[in-house]
Structure 1
């Protein structure tokens, strides 16, 4: 690994100023600080205070040196130098984009001035970013950056012929378009039985959401049939569910549109991780405290439009809508 250079901090500058006042030689100061002598000389050249009108005040002052250092660093921060860039990033964060999606889309569109996702995070948690509480626009709204945790893996169990163990490999590897994952989003019990079906295509990550009046399986399957029937058969080949009783009428779905049904192992929701991830994104707009009886399919479609118009890292920063439309065109051209 290459060496990593750490800038002098305020505590080191305080010691430096005190030892300079005591006429200590620079090499000895460098040795006490564990720094190269060239670092100290560079610090004195860059951050010594000079006043042409009152030269007797010239000298090295720790607080002045720190302020000059911070000002110089700020000049190189794109989000400070280019306010219009910061405004654009802030607008996209408010629209639900992540820093990675913003940075990736900028690269894809070849913006003349662009930033990395790390630059966005660093600004959010910098002194300037904290003053305006920029972190509130980040996906997790955290006041402090948190180290990455570890994903917990659950055990899997094998069972009947509809198990994922029998699902074709091309589906598991996302090598073929037209395979979906489905789940229900529930709300607080006091709000009744109304819930929301979330449906996402595995290759494009294109999401569809609609309202259900309760958890009865047959009406849910009929809603799926109604939603997917307008698509070409190659765009609705299969759906993967969990083992909830609300999906027990899967044979009705197969008879209706000819789509295969696959089921996760018990207590293994990570096996349909695409829809689980989509649910996490939807919870930003549909928290558990939502009054579901007030939800309309028009409002749910507007949420889907926002999700499907957001670039995704796994899609090379294209949007789900772009990939979905491209795949549909390929099917139409093949059939046409």
Structure 2
């Protein structure tokens, strides 16, 4: 078995069912599915269907095997099998810990029995976790977990060339006069579209506050050019971020 193991899918199990009825050798099944032959033998043995009320229907069925495997995984979840571990995890969740903090802390403490953050998330949004409303203690307070495809890291909002993390040393350490930090401050919606732009010179800390009719780029930049002067600070010196 490699470092990553994928469980048999419902499609693979249905193929095994058809091949089983056709008496295809297990070695041939393993070759076509690109699985170890022991995986096929274990699948046929563990998920063999039998029912006393239906004596003539004993055998291997793909749909039934998939349900049996899902039920077995539900019973064998780590936080279900180990009550003390579950109690410790729930206690930390209710104290404001995130699943990432809990799992990393267990690694730091070299705990003999620990869980990863994905296991904790799955328990929080399982039937058992929903009964205790564990989702409420997460920072996002989401009743349902977001789909996997929406959990990808988003592209940065600002280009790296204008990010505050990539300022030149002279700007970052305030060794050169003439570099400004700009920030747009918005107010409650009931107050309308009016907002203000704050301009702070990094060395002298000289601050300019400009009132804007709205937050669109053209009027905001026009206000800066008209109130500050015909020669505004260079683009490379305007760093997005909060004033420090």
Match of 2:160 in 1: 153
User: TM-score, normalization: structure 1?
Assistant: 0.42
| Deviation readout 1:26-55 (Å, 9 max, x if unpaired) | 233333333233221121122112457875
1:143-292 mapped onto 2 (5 Å cutoff): 143-145=146-148, 146-151=151-156, 152-155=159-162, 163-166=171-174, 187-190=187-190, 245=208, 266-269=238-241
1:49-64 mapped onto 2 (5 Å cutoff): 49-50=49-50, 56-64=56-64
Q: Distance in 2 between matches of 1:101 and 1:92?
A: 9
| Deviation readout 1:110-159 (Å, 9 max, x if unpaired) | 6664322232235457x768987976754443421312234442426669
| Deviation readout 1:228-278 (Å, 9 max, x if unpaired) | xxxxxxxxxxxx9x98647xxxxxxxxxxxxxxxxxx633328x8xx9xxx
Gaps of 5+ in 2: 176-182, 193-202, 210-236
Match of 2:212 in 1: none
1:129–1:135 contact (8 Å) kept in structure 2: no
User: TM-score, normalization: structure 2?
Assistant: 0.55
Go from structure 1 to structure 2 and tell me whether the alpha carbon gap of 1:118 and 1:83 turns closer, same or farther (over 3 Å shift).
same
1:93–1:99 contact (8 Å) kept in structure 2: yes
Go from structure 1 to structure 2 and tell me whether the alpha carbon gap of 1:123 and 1:10 turns closer, same or farther (over 3 Å shift).
farther
Structure 2 counterpart SS, 1:267: strand
Q: Distance in 1 between matches of 2:147 and 2:137?
A: 13
Q: RCO greater where, 1 or 2, for CA within 8 Å and sep 6 or more?
A: 1
Q: Distance in 1 between matches of 2:72 and 2:187?
A: 51
Go from structure 1 to structure 2 and tell me whether the alpha carbon gap of 1:33 and 1:244 turns closer, same or farther (over 3 Å shift).
farther
Match of 1:4 in 2: 4
Larger Rg: 2
Gaps of 5+ in 1: 168-182, 193-239, 247-264, 276-336
